[in-house]
């Protein structure tokens, strides 16, 4: 189905393409600079910055040699200064590895600092007409509407599918124009939030969202659910050569795995000592450890830790805590990676994921 849009879109582009300073000639450096500027800036706002930048730094070599202060001054007003710092790093690589000429190869372009799939596709297709797509948020919006896809375009797997489907329709000649046609269509007609100019769109004949009246609903962009923060105080409790472990509940996160005893929240040293005495232990020494965090898909643990030495226990048991030497623990009490920041203090290897899941 998508194949049928290629010729009508190319014809529309010939009639409607925007006159932009970086389109005057097929110079890969100009395309590159413009695409980096356009990552966070509208076309009209970027135009004067581009013209000034190219007059001051007309070549990759000039960019590579530019003193940082002058470079940042040229970028002043565009923000996100890492973009231009990366561009200069990439320019230096191009001087060293490619004799000052950007490589005519999307994969090689992607290895340069600050150049991702989209920018590499734009440079390679617009300059050398290589048949690679350049898929950004605008193109994903058009793709989701054309195919009436309700899949979340913020998901990597959905983006990959769109890239694959668009790569399959890249013509042998004219892929640069096709990518630019998508860019122009996305900024003039297939705009976000239900304002699309479908009645003037050259793709309306093939557009499922237009035919089914779904434009206001598409594309779907689900905001990622924020992670829940949980605070713990992790206790590495030593009784001579043994260390205390506890089995986690058989339900929920890391079910059935073992852990170091811990308290909910971030406890002060004296609270830890009082807690240990309540468990029938006799603390002899306490040392605060480095804080650590572990990220699960929906939960983030923020941990603080203490190493505590306690007087030797006769039976190696305190409540549901088991005191075991390191070898036994490695064999029988698998610890999940969430505790990796603290295992180094006792030189114990993490256990296999065991019966519970490592992620939630
Ligand atoms: S017909 Fe409308 S929704 Fe479909 S691609 Fe064109 S502008 Fe976008």
Q: Which one from 35, 165, 259, 304 is the annotated catalytic residue?
A: 35
Residue 223: inside a domain, yes or no?
Answer: no
* CATH number reported for the structural domain that contains residue 106 in this entry: 1.10.340.30
**CB of 36 closer than 8 Å to CB of 119:** yes
Which segments of the chain are extended strands (E)?
228-239, 242-247, 258-259, 262-264, 283-295, 299-310, 317-318, 321-324
**Between 329 and 359, residue with greater pLDDT:** 329
Q: What is the CATH number of the domain that holds 265?
A: 3.90.79.10
One-character DSSP codes across 296-315: -SSEEEEEEEEEEEEPPPSS
Taking the whole predicted model, whether its pTM rises above 0.75 is answered as: no
Domain count, the chain: 2
pLDDT in tens, 51-86: 999 999 999 999 999 999 899 889 988 888 889 999
How far is Cα 72 from Cα 23, in angstroms, rounded to an integer? 25
What number does the ligand 1 atom closest to the CA of 198 have? 2
Are 176 and 293 within one domain? no
Domain that holds residue 103: 2-217
Our mutation pick for probing the ligand 1 site, out of 13, 16, 139, 142, counting the most ligand atoms within 8 A of Cβ, is 142
In this structure, the answer to whether residues 33 and 178 fall within a common structural domain is: yes
Model confidence at 360, in pLDDT bands (50, 70, 90)? very low
Taken in order 99, 100, 104, 110, is the CA torsion positive or negative?
A: positive
Q: Is 247 in the same domain as 128?
A: no
Query: Is the Cβ atom of 95 under 6 angstroms away from ligand 1?
Result: no
- Does the structure show a pLDDT above 60 at 2? yes
Q: Residue 330: name the closest of 305, 347, 309 by CA.
A: 347
Report pLDDT digits (tens) over 18-33.
Answer: 999 999 999 999 999 9
| Of 103-117, 141-155, 182-196, the least confident | 182-196
Q: Catalytic annotation on 217?
A: no
């Amino acid at each position: 189905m998508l194949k049928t849009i290629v010729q009508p879109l190319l014809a529309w582009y010939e009639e409607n393409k925007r006159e932009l300073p970086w389109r005057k000639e097929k110079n890969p450096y100009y395309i590159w600079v413009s695409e980096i500027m356009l990552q966070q800036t509208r076309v009209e706002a970027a135009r004067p910055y581009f013209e000034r930048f190219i007059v001051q730094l007309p070549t990759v070599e000039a960019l590579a040699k530019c003193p940082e202060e002058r470079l940042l001054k040229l970028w002043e007003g565009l923000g996100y200064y890492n973009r231009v710092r990366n561009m200069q790093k990439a320019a230096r690589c191009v001087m060293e590895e490619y004799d000052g000429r950007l490589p005519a190869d999307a994969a090689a372009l992607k290895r340069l600092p600050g150049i991702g799939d989209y920018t590499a596709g734009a440079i390679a297709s617009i300059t050398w007409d290589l048949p690679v797509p350049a898929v950004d948020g605008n193109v994903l919006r058009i793709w989701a509407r054309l195919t009436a896809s309700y899949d979340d375009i913020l998901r990597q797997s959905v983006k990959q599918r769109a890239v694959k489907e668009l790569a399959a329709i890249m013509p042998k000649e004219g892929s640069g124009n096709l990518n630019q046609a998508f860019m122009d269509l996305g900024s003039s007609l297939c705009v976000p939030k239900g304002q699309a100019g479908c009645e003037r769109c050259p793709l309306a004949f093939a557009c499922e969202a237009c035919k089914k009246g779904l434009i206001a609903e598409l594309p779907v962009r689900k905001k990622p659910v924020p992670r829940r923060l949980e605070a713990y105080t992790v206790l590495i409790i030593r009784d001579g050569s043994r260390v205390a472990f506890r089995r986690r509940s058989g339900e929920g996160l890391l079910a059935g795995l073992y852990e170091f005893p811990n308290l909910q929240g971030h406890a002060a040293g004296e609270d830890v000592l009082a807690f240990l005495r309540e468990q029938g232990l006799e603390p002899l020494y306490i040392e605060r450890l480095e804080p650590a965090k572990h990220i699960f898909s929906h939960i983030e643990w923020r941990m603080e830790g203490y190493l505590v030495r306690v007087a030797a226990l006769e039976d190696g048991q305190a409540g549901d805590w088991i005191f075991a030497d390191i070898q036994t623990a490695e064999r029988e009490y698998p610890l999940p990676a969430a505790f990796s920041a603290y295992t180094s203090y006792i030189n114990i290897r993490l256990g296999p994921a065991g019966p519970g899941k490592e992620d939630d």
